[in-house]
């Protein structure tokens, strides 16, 4: 299969049962995408396929054949610059242990793509598929709202 990950094209033979998260982590060695629950509950493995947030533990790698995947490693525009969502998480301290953070950031970017001006309630609903085991939701929600505000100001 041939897949574009963070703008680079990769061609590999994979076993059909290979999960997308396994392919990204073990074959491509992009270990920013975490495996949490492995049962599509926690959202730690969230990445984008053709621009939409999906849980990569519940997708076969072959289902992403020919598609464009973005992982947390591909979000920042350069090595010296954070994506606005990453910057908002940093400014608002939207992380504690950091384990859920890659998935939270990817889900949050997808959320703002679909709803650029969410209410606090909509942010909480929009992140219902992502669990923070530190229960640090308050600052995560603040970070997403702050990113939405900054995005609106720069648009």
Which residues in this chain contact other proteins in the complex, by CB under 8 A? 15-19, 22, 38-41, 43, 46, 52-55, 58-60, 62-63, 107, 110-111, 114, 125-126, 128-130
> By the 8 A CB rule, do 62 and 14 touch?
yes
Closer CB to other proteins, 2 or 77, in the complex? 2
- Report the nearest approach of other proteins to the CB of residue 43 (Å): 7
CA angle 137, 83, 32 (to 5 degrees): 70
Instruction: Please enumerate in sequence order all residues whose Cβ is within 8 A of that of 104, keeping only pairs 6 or more positions apart, or say none.
Output: 43, 46, 89, 94, 95, 127, 130, 132, 140
- Please, which residues bridge with residue 65 across strands? none
- Report the nearest approach of other proteins to the CB of residue 130 (Å): 8
- Report the nearest approach of other proteins to the CB of residue 153 (Å): 25
Exposed e or buried b for every residue in 82-98, given b needs 16+ CB within 10 A? bbbbbbbbeebebbeee
- Report the nearest approach of other proteins to the CB of residue 124 (Å): 9
Closer CB to other proteins, 30 or 59, in the complex? 59
Question: Cα 21 vs. chain centroid, distance in angstroms?
Answer: 12
Closer CB to other proteins, 84 or 126, in the complex? 126
Closer CB to other proteins, 11 or 154, in the complex? 11
């Amino acid at each position: 299969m041939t897949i574009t990950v963070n703008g680079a094209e990769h061609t590999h033979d994979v076993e059909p049962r290979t999960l997308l998260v396994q392919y990204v982590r073990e074959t491509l060695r992009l270990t920013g995408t975490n495996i949490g629950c492995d049962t599509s509950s926690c959202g730690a493995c969230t990445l984008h396929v053709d621009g939409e947030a999906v849980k990569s533990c519940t997708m076969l790698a072959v289902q992403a054949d020919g598609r464009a995947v973005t992982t947390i490693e591909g979000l920042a525009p350069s090595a010296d610059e954070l994506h606005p969502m990453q910057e908002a998480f940093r400014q608002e301290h939207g992380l504690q242990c950091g384990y859920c953070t890659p998935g939270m950031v990817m889900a949050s970017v997808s959320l703002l793509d679909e709803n650029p001006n969410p209410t606090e309630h909509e942010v909480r609903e929009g992140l219902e598929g992502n669990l923070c085991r530190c229960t640090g939701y308050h600052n995560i929600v603040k970070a997403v709202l702050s990113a939405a505000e900054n995005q609106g100001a720069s648009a």
